[in-house]
Amino acid sequence: MKKTIIIVITLLLCIAVIVMYSHFRAASFEPHYIGYLTVENSNVVKQLNTILQKTNSATIRGDKTLAQCLEKQVKAVKQLALIAITSNEYSVLIAAKKDKVINQTLFDAIIADISQKKILPASTFPQVTRYYNNSKFYFFIYDISCYTIITAYTYSLPDNLILKLFLENLLIVVAFIILGTAAIIIFQQKVTIKPEPEITKETKKEKKALAANPFVTLCQQHGLSSVTIVQKNKKGIWKKVYSYPKNKMAVKLDEEILNELLSGTYILLNNNTVLMFYNSITQLIFRLERSNPFKGKTIKEIELYITKNAEDCSNYLTKHT
């Protein structure tokens, strides 16, 4: 549950940071974007200037070649939304617009502002910024001989700046993935690591009882009804040396079963209620019996118990066999 909470919090923080960063970073791109538009616009102006030099000023309003040129420029440049050719007194002679960006109502409003000299060249910047219908437009105004060329561009970052912003946001995502993963790992470690139990008088008594007879404790902890131990004597013969309850169970090991046990095989009998295995740490063969079937987890816990208490097991067998 807490792992899910960490993931959700990390995701929400990541989204919030990306939104804020993108907003401010895109604003910082504006000078670069205006520089980009200035270069683009100089190319547009050069082509228009060439055509205007060949155009008769008296027939400019109905010049089809000029009109086609304006429309072609508007379609060719992605950010270019409008071109207007005016007289030096800002009377609009001919204009073209990008229909998907500027509708007729907006077009009429912009043309009216140009004619009323509400859009004039800036003294310090190459562009004039205006807002229409909450959309930002950059106007560039160039005077050439008898005409003035006015171009309007939308605020739309070019592909190279979009790619740069995308890569920077990708780095933010990677950073949050690393932080979130680290937080989950730290949390899991805290859950896994349990404080060592305080040593009390009861704990000491339990340790003494364990040292006294570790096999009885083994039976009590894992619900065993009997435990029988087979050990190899000096002559190399495997023989039963201990049984709990006393002398309850005899063990017969033929060569095939013995080889299987020594190779590390677990042998389950009687519907998995009898378990036989060899423990390499104590070098003992165990035969365990219980009413419920043995399962993998229980077997591992039993082996772990014997391994941890190998010294106590050996000491007990030395004293009592």
Superfamily of domain 30-156, CATH level 4: YNR034W-A-like (3.40.1840.10)
Where do the structural domains in the chain lie, given as residue ranges?
30-156, 202-320
Tell me if 218 sits within 8 A of 305, measured CB to CB. Answer: yes
Tell me which CATH code domain 202-320 carries: 3.30.450.40
- pLDDT at 248 (0 to 100): 61
Provide the β-strand partners of residue 289.
Answer: 226, 274
Q: How many angstroms separate the CA atoms of 283 and 229, rounded?
A: 10
- pLDDT at 105 (0 to 100): 93
Backbone torsions φ then ψ of 141, nearest 5 degrees: -125, 120
Residue with tokens 């000096």: 234
The structure tokens listed for 25 are 């970073």
E-assigned strands of 50-159?
80-87, 92-97, 127-132, 135-144, 147-154
Q: What is the pLDDT along the chain (321 residues), one digit of tens a residue?
A: 677 888 888 888 889 888 888 878 777 777 888 888 999 999 999 988 888 888 887 788 888 888 999 999 999 998 999 999 998 889 999 999 999 999 999 999 999 999 999 988 877 778 898 999 888 899 999 988 788 999 999 987 767 777 888 898 899 899 888 888 888 888 877 766 555 555 566 656 655 654 578 999 999 999 998 899 988 888 888 888 888 887 666 777 888 888 888 998 898 888 999 999 999 998 999 999 999 999 889 999 999 999 999 999 888 888 887
The structure tokens listed for 252 are 């017969």
Q: How many angstroms separate the CA atoms of 316 and 299, rounded?
A: 22
- In terms of Cβ atoms closer than 10 Å to its own Cβ (0-12, 13-18, 19+), residue 41 is buried
Q: How many angstroms separate the CA atoms of 35 and 16, rounded?
A: 30
Cα 209–Cα 213–Cα 216 angle in degrees, nearest 5? 100
Please give the model's pTM, rounded to 2 decimal places. 0.47
The structure tokens listed for 263 are 């190779």
Answer positive or negative: Cα dihedral of 74, 105, 33, 50: positive
Nearest to 293 by CA among 277, 269, 276: 269
- pLDDT at 207 (0 to 100): 56
Q: Could you give the angle at which helices 201-212 and 214-222 cross, rounded to 10 degrees?
A: 110
Q: What is the separation of C-alpha 287 from the centre of its chain, rounded to a whole number of angstroms?
A: 51
Maximum Cα interatomic distance, the chain, rounded to a whole number of Å: 127
The structure tokens listed for 38 are 């200035």
Q: What is the separation of C-alpha 62 from the centre of its chain, rounded to a whole number of angstroms?
A: 60
